[in-house]
Amino acid sequence: MTLFTFTLNGKKQTVDAAPETPLLWVLRDTLKLTGTKYSCGQGLCGSCTVHVDGKPRKSCNLPISKVAGKTVLTIEGLGERGLHPVQKAWIEDEVAQCGYCQPGQIMTAVALLDKNTHPTDSDIEAAMKGVLCRCGTYQRIKKAIHTAAEEA
Partner 1 sequence: MNSSESKLLDRRQFLKLSTGSTAALVLGFCWPLSGKDSVSGEDGIFVPNAYLEIHANNTVTVIMPRSEMGQKIYTALPQIVAEELEADWSKIKVLQGDLNQVYGSQTTGGSASVRTQYDRLREAGATAKAMLIQAAAITLNVPVSECHAESGYVHHLSKDRKLNYGSLVALANTLPVPKNVTLKDPKAFRIIGKDHKSLDGGGKVDGSIKFGYDFELPEMLTAVVARIPKYGGSIDTFDATEALKVPGVTKIAPISAGVAVLAENSWAALQGRKKLVVKWNDGSHAKINSKKISEDLHVALEQEGTIIRSDGDADKALETASRQIDLTFEVPYLDHAPQEPNNCTAHIHNGICEIWVPTQSPGAAWWAAKSVTQFDDENIKVHTLRMGGAFGRKLQSDYVRDAVEVAQLTKLPVKVIRTRTEDLKNGFYRPSSVHQVKVGLDRNKKPISWIHKLSGPQDGWAPIITGGADELAYDIANQKVSCVMTAQPIPIGAWRSVAHTQNAFVHESMIDEVARKTGRDPLVFRRELLKNRPRHLGVLNLVEKHSKWGKPLKDTRARGLAVHYSFNSYVAIVIEISEAKKGINVERVTAAIDCGTVINPDGVRAQVEGGVVMGLTAALYGEITIDRGEVKQTNFHNYRLLKMDKMPEINIHIVESTEPPTGVGEPPVPPTPPALINAIAALTGKRILRLPLKSQLA
Site for partner 1, rule CB under 8 A: 1, 18, 21-22, 25, 28-30, 32-42, 44-45, 47, 74-76, 78-79, 83, 87, 90-91, 94, 96-103, 106, 124-126, 128-142
Residue among 7 and 138 whose Cβ is closer to partner 1: 138
Question: Least CB distance from residue 100 to partner 1, whole Å?
Answer: 3
Neighbouring residues of 37: CB distance < 8 A, sequence distance ≥ 6: 47, 48, 100, 101, 103, 104
Closest to partner 1 by CB, 70 or 144: 144
Least gap, CB of 143 to partner 1 (angstroms): 11
Distance CA 117, CA 21 (A): 34
Task: Find the shortest distance in angstroms from Cβ 6 to partner 1.
Answer: 17
Tell the smallest beta-carbon distance from residue 57 to partner 1 (Å).
Answer: 16
Q: Which is nearer to partner 1, 52 or 78 (CB)?
A: 78
CA atoms of 92 and 99, how far apart (whole Å): 15
Greatest C-alpha distance within the chain: 47
Helix (H) or strand (E) holding 56: strand 55-58
**Which DSSP category does 37 fall into?**
P
Q: Which is nearer to partner 1, 70 or 137 (CB)?
A: 137
Amino acid at 65: S
